[in-house]
Amino acid sequence: MDLGSANASPVLADPALINQTRIGFHSSVFTRSSGTSYSLIPKKKPGKFDDVLSNGWLDAMQSSSPPRKKMLKDVGVELASDDNEVVYYSWMLKYPSALKSFDRIINRANNKEVVIFLDYDGTLSPIVDDPNRAFMSSDMRSAVKGVAKYFPTAIISGRSRDKVYELVGLTELFYAGSHGMDIMFPAKNTISINHTNYIRSTDKQGKEVNLFQPAREFIPMIDEVYRTLVEVAKDIPGALVENHKFCTSVHYRNVDEKSWPTIAQCVHDVLKDYPRLRLTHGRKVLEVRPVIDWDKGKAVEFLLESLGLSNSDDVLPIYIGDDRTDEDAFKVLREKNRGYGILVSSVPKESKAFLSLRDPSEVKDFLKSLIKWKEQISGIDKRSKEAVKHTSPQFVFRGF
């Protein structure tokens, strides 16, 4: 990553850019008035849910984390379960299984520094109804711990950094919370940049760390919006609002589908007063975040840079994730032709990833295969060093 871009504030100050970046305005509502400027003129008197119908939020909510049956209906009408498998296997021609492609991966990884990036929800832990109960299994934890023993490993999550650390509970990892807007890494990895978003701190063990928080100035705004959203969501049964410090999430997984337009419209109305915030869609969740030029892809580049591993042909980054926000990271790897993006999905969907895994259980198997491979090659290395020792000149000489 060009460190100049970390020096420059990622906050987008140009209102024109902010309008482009804000998701949710359908191009048809922008009417050309004169010259090159555009004004926002509603085409007709708005109805109750017109905003969220025209801006595509409702469509995005319907297709968010679709149940298996619905997704396959979209592809080919009524399908029997065998047909589901056929559709999935034909999709896998484009996104081959990372487990089945393992030999290809390790061939490319040989003599390279492998760096692992992991999303949390839907990747390390299964998707469950209650976000507070999205625990990873102890088997998965030991796989992540094992991987971190051999390769630099980072978790990049939409959750707050503290929350994801609490759920993962491993000190040997790097953590980036709030979709990469809150990155913590050891003080020894300081990059020589002078930026107000860079601060020194101490972690839970009292060790010196660096924090990179490109959306620091938004903390009070996010807190205010979070509180407003809690207030508006309290009358919608099943709605849940989370505060991630640099972004906030409104969950509708447990909301009756009939009330989805209501929840979308409420969030839309709150956001009208905050032109510097935008909305993105996750798995049955509306995510409100600052309009800044920062995402999980930028966080990957930043972490590689902090580890001194960017711009090197000797580095192989592997990013595993299941959500739309992970696409930013897949895109970075694909565009730079670096490493592998691996999409976790049990249903066919378009992605910028190269490979796929079906679910967290396959993620665990993949991580375990990486550990086994590393242990094998370290064993071979160790044995060949032993052999060299035993055939050392001194030993050979005594033989004479």
Ligand X SMILES: O=P(O)(O)OC[C@H]1O[C@H](O[C@H]2O[C@H](CO)[C@@H](O)[C@H](O)[C@H]2O)[C@H](O)[C@@H](O)[C@@H]1O
User: Helical H runs in the chain?
Assistant: 3-7, 15-21, 50-54, 57-63, 68-76, 81-94, 102-109, 138-150, 161-168, 219-233, 260-271, 296-306, 327-335, 360-390, 393-399
Which of 51, 119, 295, 327 contacts ligand X by CB under 6 A?
Answer: 119
Nearer to ligand X, 30 or 135 (CB): 135
Per the listing, tokens 């800044």 go with 292
Per the listing, tokens 């972490």 go with 303
Structural tokens at position 386: 């032993």
Q: Is 302 left (phi over 0), alpha (psi -120 to 50) or beta?
A: alpha
Residue 290 near ligand X by CB under 6 A: no
Residue 238 near ligand X by CB under 6 A: no
Nearer to ligand X, 148 or 247 (CB): 247
* Least CB distance to ligand X at residue 40 (A): 29
Residue 301 near ligand X by CB under 6 A: no
- What is the distance between the alpha carbons of residues 128 and 137, in angstroms, rounded to a whole number? 13
* Least CB distance to ligand X at residue 243 (A): 10
Which of 55, 84, 325, 345 contacts ligand X by CB under 6 A?
Answer: 325
CA angle 325, 288, 51 (to 5 degrees): 105
Residue 285 near ligand X by CB under 6 A: yes
Which of 276, 284, 349, 352 contacts ligand X by CB under 6 A?
Answer: 284
**Candidate ranges 153-161, 257-265, 331-339, 381-389; the one touching ligand X (CB under 6 A):** 153-161
Residue 381 near ligand X by CB under 6 A: no
Residue 134 near ligand X by CB under 6 A: yes
**Candidate ranges 10-18, 76-84, 121-129, 136-144; the one touching ligand X (CB under 6 A):** 121-129
Residue nearest ligand X, Cβ-based: 158
Residue 287 near ligand X by CB under 6 A: yes
* Least CB distance to ligand X at residue 344 (A): 10
Which of 112, 195, 253, 268 contacts ligand X by CB under 6 A?
Answer: 253
Which of 180, 214, 282, 348 contacts ligand X by CB under 6 A?
Answer: 282
Residue 129 near ligand X by CB under 6 A: yes
Asked whether 242 and 177 are in contact (CB, 8 A), the reply is: no
Neighbours of 340 (CB within 10 A): 22
Which of 127, 191, 211, 236 contacts ligand X by CB under 6 A?
Answer: 127
Kindly give, in sequence order, each residue whose CB lies less than 8 Å from that of residue 334, ignoring residues fewer than 6 positions away: 341, 352, 353, 354
- What is the distance between the alpha carbons of residues 146 and 143, in angstroms, rounded to a whole number? 5
Taking each helix axis as running N to C, give the angle between helix 296-306 and helix 327-335, from 0 to 180 degrees, rounded to the nearest 10. 60
Taking each helix axis as running N to C, give the angle between helix 81-94 and helix 68-76, from 0 to 180 degrees, rounded to the nearest 10. 70
Which of 242, 327, 328, 362 contacts ligand X by CB under 6 A?
Answer: 242
**Candidate ranges 118-126, 193-201, 227-235, 255-263; the one touching ligand X (CB under 6 A):** 118-126
Per the listing, tokens 């050891």 go with 186
* Least CB distance to ligand X at residue 177 (A): 9
Tell me how far apart the 2 most distant CA atoms of the chain are, in Å.
Answer: 101
**Candidate ranges 2-10, 138-146, 229-237, 282-290; the one touching ligand X (CB under 6 A):** 282-290
Q: Which residues of the shown chain bind ligand X in the complex (CB under 6 A)? A: 119-122, 127-129, 131, 134, 157-159, 242, 249, 251, 253, 282-285, 287, 323, 325
